[in-house]
């Protein structure tokens, strides 16, 4: 009887698509609201008892698809669908009242934004709605904030779950639910009959079998109290996932981070701090103060990042430089430090006395600011450690970043403890120190100018400038990348940002080199750029699917498989991809 019910419902649905045109008037109203930038909120309202379907419609129906011609669009989030068993036998995930879609667009002059969907009630009919930028409804900041708040109230909470690449098994903890639906975000990825969801104590266990050469990347988890949209991260169950191994990677990554281009701008601040020390006593206090500054900065950023992720924000390591407020404040701080070093500006007398009384504050501040500027970029070993950390619980996250902090602080702390290692190479204190101080102030000035430049980009003051690589590099688009990769095409993805100095260094030295350009042309490589200068939820989510949470990250697809390249990769790394 079950199969007869499904068969009859299928015949009814197919027949409904061929009803006469007299009943084809659209009963779905779509309004597109803009903030004046590249963010859109689509508000869909269904009338006359009609419903449309979610991205995975269930056993019957067609997904609601948004795509663009002469432009690009990505859905960053959408309302939680309703669920029902139609005729008691067919799963449906649908919208029958209203729905919101948050869209990110790469707008062009002749762009067309297209919604393909199916309206159903007693009959069903495929519909298409086409929009151009002239159809977007521009809202002022207050109206946009209200609409965004209203839309976000209907969205699922975003989470990340890990599974062994060979087992397709998830263990869901701390949901506190007595009922749970696990819905793949796309159908025909897994075999429906193999999906098993059962409760064991306070945990939910989910397992499935995927279709050949396919992986479930995303799923909707519905409970009576909360809906979750889970990005599923695949790992390997070997020694590289043990906490001890990851802590070692983090520690080594912290040491190497001192040699990364991100740290060069504050090198002058570190060296100047050492040159000011004339008293060999108190070296332990200075070393510990610097280490405490590094550790405190790492812990503050980590705690804030964990909190934001729990609020549903899709952000990654180095998120602080995505904020124009933070960038502006840091730019002013470094400008003041420059003026202080060249003696064009002085602390007020009361402040000077306070600083002299707390001699350790200089070392602590040096360590603290060293992390704020350097942390957005990742180096060898660090990327894997950070990516692993944010797939674990809070205790393991803090453990990994403590190891990273200790590794980062170690070289400078050792110099503080054993100053004779460098003092024997330096002449006796004298006028030369003043000249050195002027020289060392230059990287600090360059840092301030760089930060002001990043701020200008974030405030769109530089939007009129054309990207010299714009004809070659395309904005990252997950669907396009997946389509090209499945077709066996070569694809290169650059996760970058204007505030990431290592990214900018690699852009000039590696990505604009003749060797790289020749390789791209010879092998017909499709180039995609995910620019995280400003917070972009889609790009951050994409980054996490590769097990990374910081940049730069370079992904190369060849023969349908991808490889995460080293931070400083070479053409041999591309050629050796199997």
Residue 467, domain member (yes or no): no
Residue 323 clears pLDDT 80, i.e. is over it: no
Calculate mean pLDDT across residues 321-331.
71
Q: What is the pLDDT of residue 29?
A: 93
More confident residue, 348 or 564: 564
- Per residue in 439-453, pLDDT (tens digit) is 667 777 777 777 787
CA distances in angstroms from 306 to 228, 274, 337, 389, 564, listed in the order given: 17, 34, 31, 11, 25
Calculate mean pLDDT across residues 332-340.
74
Query: Which among 58, 278, 88 has a CA at the least distance from the CA of 187?
Result: 58
Q: What is the pLDDT of residue 359?
A: 41
Phi then psi for 197, rounded to 5 degrees? Answer: -125, 120
Tell whether 429 and 288 lie within a shared domain. yes
The four Cα atoms 369, 374, 376, 379 give a dihedral, to 10 degrees, of -150
The band of 312, judged by pLDDT with boundaries at 50, 70 and 90, is low
**Alpha-carbon span 120 to 117, nearest angstrom:** 10
Residue 459, domain member (yes or no): no
Residue 328 clears pLDDT 80, i.e. is over it: no
The band of 261, judged by pLDDT with boundaries at 50, 70 and 90, is low
Query: Which among 394, 518, 529 has a CA at the least distance from the CA of 473?
Result: 529
Tell whether 61 and 113 lie within a shared domain. yes
Would you call the peptide bond into 92 cis, given omega within 30 degrees of 0 as the criterion? no
Residue 464 clears pLDDT 50, i.e. is over it: no
Contact present, 105 and 75 (Cβ < 8 Å)? no
Tell whether 401 and 422 lie within a shared domain. yes
Residue 238 clears pLDDT 80, i.e. is over it: no
- For residue 527, the domain's CATH number is 3.40.30.10
Residue 19, domain member (yes or no): no
Residue 42 clears pLDDT 70, i.e. is over it: yes
- Identify the burial level of 180 via C-beta atoms within 10 angstroms of its C-beta, where 0-12 means exposed, 13-18 middle and 19 or more buried: middle
**What are the helix (H) ranges across 390-513?**
394-417, 420-423, 432-458, 478-486, 501-506
- Give the residue from 117, 134, 152 where a domain finishes: 152
Q: What is the pLDDT of residue 46?
A: 93
SS (H, E, C) 417-448: HCCHHHHCCCCCCCCHHHHHHHHHHHHHHHHH
Residue 460, domain member (yes or no): no
- Per residue in 193-204, pLDDT (tens digit) is 888 999 888 788
- Give the residue from 422, 452, 482 where a domain finishes: 452
The band of 463, judged by pLDDT with boundaries at 50, 70 and 90, is very low
**Alpha-carbon span 529 to 540, nearest angstrom:** 13
Q: What is the pLDDT of residue 350?
A: 45
Calculate mean pLDDT across residues 523-538.
85
Strands 526-531 and 473-475: parallel
Report the percentage of the chain scoring pLDDT > 90.
16
DSSP state of 205: E
Residue 338 clears pLDDT 80, i.e. is over it: no
Calculate mean pLDDT across residues 239-262.
73
Residue 12 clears pLDDT 70, i.e. is over it: no
Q: State the angle between helix axes of 394-417 and 361-374 in degrees (0 to 180), rounded to the nearest 10.
A: 130
Residue 6, domain member (yes or no): no
**Alpha-carbon span 156 to 279, nearest angstrom:** 58
Tell whether 404 and 422 lie within a shared domain. yes
**Alpha-carbon span 395 to 43, nearest angstrom:** 40
Report the percentage of the chain scoring pLDDT > 70.
71
Calculate mean pLDDT across residues 296-310.
76
- For residue 232, the domain's CATH number is 2.60.40.10
- For residue 82, the domain's CATH number is 2.60.40.1250
Residues 6+ apart with CB under 8 A from 90: 5, 6, 9, 58, 59, 60
The band of 466, judged by pLDDT with boundaries at 50, 70 and 90, is very low
Tell whether 195 and 263 lie within a shared domain. no
- Give the residue from 167, 202, 237 where a domain finishes: 237
Tell me the pLDDT of the chain averaged across its residues: 76
Tell whether 73 and 130 lie within a shared domain. yes
Tell whether 262 and 339 lie within a shared domain. yes
The tally of CA atoms less than 13 A away on the side-chain side of residue 426 is: 17
Out of 139-143, 213-217, 228-232, least confident range: 213-217
Query: Which among 400, 112, 380, 116 has a CA at the least distance from the CA of 246?
Result: 400
Rg for the chain, CA atoms, rounded: 27
Tell whether 477 and 494 lie within a shared domain. yes
**Alpha-carbon span 441 to 429, nearest angstrom:** 18
Residue 23 clears pLDDT 70, i.e. is over it: no
Out of 232-246, 401-415, 440-454, least confident range: 232-246
The band of 456, judged by pLDDT with boundaries at 50, 70 and 90, is confident
Other Cβ atoms closer than 10 A to 412: 23
Residue 466, domain member (yes or no): no
The band of 38, judged by pLDDT with boundaries at 50, 70 and 90, is confident
Q: Domain residues for 148?
A: 26-152
Residue 227 clears pLDDT 70, i.e. is over it: yes
- Per residue in 378-400, pLDDT (tens digit) is 656 666 666 666 666 677 788 88
Query: Count of domains in the chain?
Result: 4
Tell whether 137 and 279 lie within a shared domain. no
Instruction: Evaluate if pTM is beyond 0.75.
Output: no
Tell whether 251 and 385 lie within a shared domain. yes
Q: What is the pLDDT of residue 555?
A: 92
Residue 202, domain member (yes or no): yes
Q: What is the pLDDT of residue 20?
A: 37
Query: Which among 296, 298, 320 has a CA at the least distance from the CA of 254?
Result: 298
Tell whether 314 and 366 lie within a shared domain. yes
Query: Which among 227, 331, 179, 337 has a CA at the least distance from the CA of 272?
Result: 337
Tell whether 322 and 245 lie within a shared domain. yes
Q: What is the pLDDT of residue 388?
A: 62
More confident residue, 578 or 543: 543
Query: Which among 228, 226, 77 has a CA at the least distance from the CA of 158?
Result: 228
Q: What is the pLDDT of residue 101?
A: 96
Q: What is the pLDDT of residue 158?
A: 83
Residue 526, domain member (yes or no): yes
């Amino acid at each position: 009887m079950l199969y007869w019910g499904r068969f009859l419902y299928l015949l009814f649905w197919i027949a409904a698509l061929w009803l006469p045109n007299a009943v084809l008037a659209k009963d779905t109203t779509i309004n597109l609201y803009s903030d004046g930038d590249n963010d859109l909120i689509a508000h869909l309202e269904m009338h006359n008892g009609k419903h449309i379907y979610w991205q995975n419609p269930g056993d019957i129906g067609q997904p609601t698809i948004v795509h663009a011609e002469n432009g690009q669009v990505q859905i960053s989030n959408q309302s939680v669908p309703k669920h029902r068993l139609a005729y008691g036998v067919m799963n449906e995930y649908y919208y029958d009242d209203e729905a919101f879609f948050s869209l990110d667009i790469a707008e062009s002059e002749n762009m067309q934004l297209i919604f393909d969907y199916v309206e159903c009630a007693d009959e069903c009919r495929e519909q298409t709605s086409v929009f151009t930028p002239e159809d977007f409804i521009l809202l002022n900041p207050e109206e946009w904030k209200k609409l965004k708040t209203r839309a976000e109230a209907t969205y699922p909470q975003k989470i990340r779950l890990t599974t062994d690449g060979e087992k397709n098994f998830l263990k869901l903890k701390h949901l506190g639910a007595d009922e749970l639906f696990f819905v793949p975000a796309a159908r025909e990825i897994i075999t429906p009959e193999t999906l098993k969801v059962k409760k064991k104590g306070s945990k939910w266990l989910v397992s499935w079998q995927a279709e050949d050469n396919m992986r479930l990347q995303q799923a909707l988890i519905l409970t009576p109290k909360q809906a979750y949209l889970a990005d599923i991260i695949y790992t390997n169950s070997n020694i590289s996932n043990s906490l001890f191994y990851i802590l070692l990677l983090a520690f080594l990554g912290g040491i190497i981070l001192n040699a990364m281009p991100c740290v060069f701008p504050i090198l002058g601040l570190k060296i100047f701090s050492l040159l000011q020390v004339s008293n060999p006593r108190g070296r332990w206090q200075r070393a510990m103060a610097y280490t405490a500054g590094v550790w405190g900065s790492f812990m503050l950023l980590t705690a804030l990042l964990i909190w934001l992720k729990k609020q549903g924000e899709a952000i990654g390591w180095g998120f602080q430089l995505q904020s124009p407020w933070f960038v502006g404040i840091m730019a002013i701080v470094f400008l003041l430090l420059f003026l202080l070093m060249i003696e064009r500006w002085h602390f007020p007398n009361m402040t000077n006395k306070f600083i002299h009384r707390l001699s350790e504050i200089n070392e602590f501040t040096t360590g603290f600011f060293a992390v704020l500027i350097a942390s957005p970029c990742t180096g060898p070993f660090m990327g894997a450690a950070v990516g692993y950390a944010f797939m674990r619980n809070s205790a393991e996250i803090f453990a990994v970043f403590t190891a990273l902090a200790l590794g980062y602080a170690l070289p400078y702390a050792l110099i503080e403890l054993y100053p004779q290692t460098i003092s024997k190479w330096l002449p006796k204190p004298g006028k030369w120190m003043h000249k050195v101080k002027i020289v060392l102030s230059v990287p600090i000035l360059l840092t301030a100018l760089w930060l002001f430049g990043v701020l200008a980009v974030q405030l769109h003051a530089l939007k009129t400038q054309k990207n010299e690589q714009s004809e070659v590099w395309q904005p990252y688009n997950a669907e396009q990348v997946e389509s090209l990769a499945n077709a066996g095409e070569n694809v290169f993805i650059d996760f970058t940002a204007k505030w990431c100095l290592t990214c900018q260094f690699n852009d000039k030295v590696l990505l604009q080199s003749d060797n790289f350009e020749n390789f791209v042309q010879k092998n017909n490589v499709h180039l995609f750029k995910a620019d995280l200068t400003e917070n972009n939820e889609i790009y951050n989510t994409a980054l996490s699917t590769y097990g990374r949470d910081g940049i730069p990250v370079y992904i190369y697809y060849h023969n349908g498989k991808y490889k995460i390249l080293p931070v400083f990769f070479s053409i041999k790394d591309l050629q050796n991809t199997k």
